[in-house]
Amino acid sequence: MKTLLPYLALYRRHWVRMGLGILLAIVTLLASIGLLTLSGWFLAASSLAGLAGLYTFNYMLPAAGVRGAAIFRTAGRYAERVVSHDATFRVLAHLRVFTFSKLLPLSPGGLARFQKVELLNRLVADVDTLDHLYLRVISPLIAALAVIMGVTLGLSFLDVGLALILGGIMLALLLLLPVIFYRAGQPIGRELTQLRGEYRTQLGGWLQGQSELVIFGAEHQRRQRLDDIEKRWLGRQQQQAKLSGLSQALMIAASGLTLCLMLWLASGGVGSLPAPGALLALFVFTPLAAFEALGPVAGAFQHFGQVMASANRVTQIISQRPSVTFPASGGVKHSLANVSIQAMSFTYPQQPIPVLKAVNLEINAGEHIALLGKTGCGKSTLAQLLTRAWDPQQGCILLNGVSLTEYQESTLRSMVTVMSQRVHVFNSTLRDNLLLAAPDSSDEQLAAALRQVELDSLLENQGLNAWLGEGGRQLSGGEQRRLGLARALLHDAPLWILDEPTEGLDAETERHILALLDTHCKNKTLLMITHRLTGLEKMDRVCVMDAGQITSSTAFV
């Protein structure tokens, strides 16, 4: 239960909506009980009154009560669904933001040992499972307890003994059944969560590596592994379904037995009345309707094992300490950037071979440097160290004479413009994708940046309101690259780090982009990582990197 405490604390932000949802659930259940019991008593009393009752029996008041209970039940059920689901979606959004805010400082060091599919599964599927805590556990449990108290109190005005018997039976079931079915469903729920994550991870790997699996003849073996996991997953789902059926069967049996017991006890008299009369129907229909409140409780707690397993999986990630931490304050933003890399060495965690070995590099303010080298020589790692995605094991990096470790994160980010090899396009509008770089930019500034990188065509039709889709599927690789450049132009920083900025562009567009960079970065410090030779003559220096070391540095005169 301690694992759930951090997530339960998040619910306090939405306690008004959640409390209103629980209150509406209680009102709906009490209205449902009142409708059935009052209807039963009314029919029984009417039949006993007979024709003589036309003049002596008040038909209007019970009929009005039945109609009022029906209205309250219908309206309450609708309102409860609206409020409860609204609260659930808000909690879910809050959970996702909370989880992502914990994941972000861990990247990339704390997340390197997790596959992307596994991370996505924990961030989406496991967090989704956590929202069941309110709808399936907290709300039904509180509502059932309130209904038991309300029914017991209401019936005690007629017969205290019968009221306490019915209340005691329902309270015993409320206390025992959740514990029993939680114990029975815990191993099933835990394994279901594990199998779900394992299946999605294997499926993602199978889809991504389809070509390699076919070439090396391993497709059948990988597919067989997927089938085995799926069979175990379906088997556990079947066990859970049987357990759900058993819980409902026990609840129906308990309801029927309680009804028979109340019928037998009430037949001897209700309160001071030796003959119960029409009140017999009221005491019979009350347990029949009241057990509706207990129905979801037993079934909810058998899924509680899944909630606990999902909470453990999410906590396993977010409880890690970030490998890179920033001070609360420090560093001063300058309009110029001077970079000094001194005897820097770096090795990725759990890797035996260092990626960078005693690298020394001085980049003067306003200097443009091209960094060349074959794939895997450490160019991209050097760029990541300059932005403190990692910290070197040896040596240091100075920005304007101050170590990067002394910079507040917001200050460091404001001084560096980065364009990585892979430009991510979010499933949102063109405007939102550009505002990531400069949230305060106007539409005119966004449009100007797009025109600078020759993306005028994106401004046609819907313009900045155009929806780019998941991963920017409507854009070509070159367009995505230029969109990344447009973001870079919007982020006004003195230090620019570009990793393969012209990759995927045709020769004419590449020349235009390089000329644009040369003009825009005239007074800025530029480090451009590339393996292409186009435009190198415009650089101040060309450095060549090999096997984690800078082997040569040539200045253009």
pLDDT digits (tens, 9 = 90+) for 435-454: 888 888 888 888 888 888 88
Confidence of residue 231 (pLDDT cuts 50, 70, 90): very high
What is the CA angle 267-271-276, rounded to 5?
35
N residues, the chain: 557
Which DSSP string corresponds to 274-342? SS-TTHHHHHHHHHHHHTTTTHHHHHHHHSHHHHHHHHHHHHHHHTSPPSS---SS-----SS--EEEE
Tokens standing for residue 453: 């990188």
Apex 505 CA angle, 501 and 509, nearest 5:
95
Torsion of CA 495, 500, 503, 507, to 10 degrees: 70
Work out the mean pLDDT of the chain and round it to a whole number: 83
- Is the four-CA dihedral 443, 446, 448, 451 of positive or negative sign? negative
* Per-residue model confidence as pLDDT tens digits over 233-243: 899 889 888 88
What pLDDT shows up at residue 40?
Answer: 82
Nearest to 34 by CA among 255, 282, 266: 282
- pLDDT tens readout for residues 120-174: 777 777 777 777 778 778 888 889 999 999 989 988 888 888 889 999 999 998 8
Residue 557 pLDDT > 60: no
Distance CA 367, CA 491 (A): 19
Helices (H) and strands (E) in the chain, counts: 20, 10
Inform me whether the pLDDT recorded for 483 exceeds 70.
Answer: yes
CB atoms < 10 A from the CB of 33, how many?
A: 25
Find the mean pLDDT for residues 6-25. Answer: 84
Over 70: is that where the pLDDT of 52 sits? no
As a whole number, mean pLDDT of residues 496-503 equals 82
Rounded to the nearest 5 percent, the helix, strand and coil shares of the chain are 65, 10, 25
Strands (E), 320-415: 339-346, 356-363, 368-372, 394-399, 402-403
Residue 58 has pLDDT above 80, yes or no: no
Cα–Cα dist 259/254, whole Å: 8
> What SS3 class is residue 420?
coil
pLDDT of res. 20:
92
Residues 6+ away with beta carbon under 8 Å from 292: 29, 32, 33
Please determine, for residue 421, whether its predicted confidence score (pLDDT) is greater than 70.
yes
What is the structure's pLDDT at 265?
A: 85
Q: Which residue has the higher pLDDT, 383 or 272?
A: 383
Please state, in angstroms and as integers, the Cα–Cα distance from residue 332 to each residue in 34, 335, 363, following that order: 69, 10, 19
- For 369-392, what is each residue's pLDDT tens digit? 888 888 878 888 888 888 888 888
Q: What is the pTM of this model?
A: 0.73
pLDDT band per the 50, 70, 90 thresholds, residue 79: very high
Average pLDDT of span 416-434:
85
Q: Percent of the chain, pLDDT > 90?
A: 6
**pLDDT greater than 80 at residue 464:** yes
pLDDT in tens, 342-364: 888 888 887 788 888 888 888 88
Domains of the chain and CATH, by start: 2-318 (1.20.1560.10), 339-555 (3.40.50.300)
pLDDT of the residue at 1? 62
Average confidence (pLDDT) over 521-541? 81
pLDDT in tens, 243-269: 888 888 888 898 889 988 888 888 877
With a pLDDT cut of 70, the percent of the chain lying above it is 96
**Cβ atoms within 10 Å of 127's Cβ, excluding its own:** 21
- Identify the residue with better confidence: 395 or 268: 395
Q: Is the pLDDT of residue 471 over 80?
A: no
Distance CA 232, CA 489 (A): 52
Q: What is the mean pLDDT of the segment spanning 212-226?
A: 85
Which of 17-21, 111-115, 188-192, 407-411 has the weakest average pLDDT?
A: 111-115
Contacts (Cβ under 8 Å, ≥6 apart) of 204: 115, 116, 117
Q: What is the pLDDT of residue 56?
A: 66
Peptide bond into 105 cis (omega under 30): no
